[in-house]
Structure 1
Amino acid sequence: MQRDDQNEEDIGLFQRMKQDDARAFEAIYNRYFLKLSNTAFKRLQDRETTEEIVQELFVNLWLKRHRLPDLKIPESYLQTLLRHAVIDWFRAQARQNGFAAEMLAQPDRQTVNATEQHILYADLQQAYESTVGRLPEKCRQVYALHQQGRSVADIAHELQIAPKTVESHLLKAQHTLRELLKDYSAVAVALMISF
């Protein structure tokens, strides 16, 4: 397939995705997941982090599909989203590493680091559970069901609300959790609240 033909096909897939076509989204995912992962890995050099960032990019793409602009070159748009996501990750790591560098200057860091990581994770887990508990009731219900692997359509049917309302609750939960847990490692939080 020539590049222009693929771009036209991509434009069609994005338009269909904006109209809630899950198959179009799946086609975009299948077409670009590996390509975006390879690009991200060149910068990150870590498979797990790469997968987390690219997965989150696609989750956000689906959740925000109704607000997507009309795109002339969808692949460029995806690459731009990825570049911003990677930059955000490096910024978060720089903040975290400023603290880590100070801690590494102390003796016997290997043993202490393992203990600290365990404590930090326990603190994060407690903060996460506390934050989820403070979400509004309907938002908390939606989030809990989604964390169990339920689809937006399933949640909407069970709670008798519109799919767009489910998505709105999920976005609110994600934003609230990220905001209240922002002092923790970006990667740890992403693992904790991945959608």
Structure 2
Amino acid sequence: MPTYANDSTMKRYYQTLDDSGLFQRMQHDDPQAFEEIYTRYFLKLSNTAFKRLQDREMTEEIVQELFVNLWLKRHRLPELKNPESYLQTLLRNAVIDWFRAQARQDGFAAEMLAQPDRQIINATEQHILYTDLQQAYESTVGQLPEKCRQVYALHQKGQSVAEIADQLQIAPKTVESHLLKAQQTLRYLLKEYSAVAVALLVSF
């Protein structure tokens, strides 16, 4: 890497690197590459998380922890073809873990442990409710308009907005519009079910 005259020149250099280049440098213990990744994606990931959590303090905590873990585990990262998609997957998993923790705190697990005589009954009831929700979810996805359903299905598989736009030959804004419509439709049609359960199924 060339010698830089000052910090601003070095900063501009890192800004010219693509995501893959930044991740490679970060994996080789380059803190400035990590700083640039943080700058590029902190706000984007925070906005995505807030749409699901509706809690700014928890959003900031989750995203900050994501980046801390990213740096700590930098030597064990897989080969990344799409770093942004990888970050979005990390975020999605973190948000799901938060919802699961909330469900436990709401007392569902504690109640089952406190009433061992009803453990089998409760487990059966929860299995039935989950099965009903899964069937309702799949049925609702099937009711989405064709293009909207295609976009949502690809996004569920982990593809980024840019990748979906390229594959379907549509504008990224159109992809975002389809995703928003799919999420709003699914949440509305599944509103009779637990908000936590729906959140675990409906991806952002």
Say if 1:54 and 1:124 are closer, same or farther in 2 by CA, change over 3 A.
Answer: closer
Q: How does 1:123-138 map to 2 (within 5 A)?
A: 123-138=132-147
Relative to structure 1, the CA distance from residue 55 to residue 108 in structure 2 (aligned partners, 3 Å threshold; closer, same or farther) is closer
Residue 152 of structure 1 corresponds to: 161
TM-score, normalization by structure 2: 0.49
What's the counterpart of residue 6 of structure 1?
A: none
Map 1:96-175 onto structure 2 (within 5 A): 108-175=117-184
Partner of 1:190: 199
TM-score normalised to structure 1 length: 0.51
Gaps of 5+ in 2: 1-36, 47-56, 64-92
Give the counterpart of 2:42 among 16, 23, 27.
Answer: 27
Q: Any stretches of 5+ residues in structure 1 without a counterpart?
A: 1-21, 39-49, 57-88
Q: Percent identity?
A: 66
Compare relative contact order (CA 8 Å, sep 6+) and give the higher one, 1 or 2.
1
Once residues 54 and 24 of structure 1 are traced to their aligned partners in structure 2, the CA distance between those partners, rounded to angstroms, is 25
| 1:63-109 deviation digits (Å, cap 9, x = unpaired) | xxxxxxxxxxxxxxxxxxxxxxxxxx89xx99xx9xxx9xxxx9942
Kept in 2: contact 1:37–1:54 (CA 8 A)? no
Kept after mapping to 2: 8 A contact 1:128/1:177: yes
Residue pair 2:96, 2:200 contacting (<8 A) in 1 also: no
CA separation in 2, counterparts of 1:124 and 1:109?
A: 22
Per the TM alignment, residue 184 of structure 1 is displaced from its structure 2 partner at its CA by: 1.0
Aligned residue pairs, count: 126
- Shift in CA distance, 116/125, structure 1 to aligned 2, threshold 3 Å: same
Instruction: State the Cα RMSD in Å.
Output: 4.3
Aligned to 1:52: 95
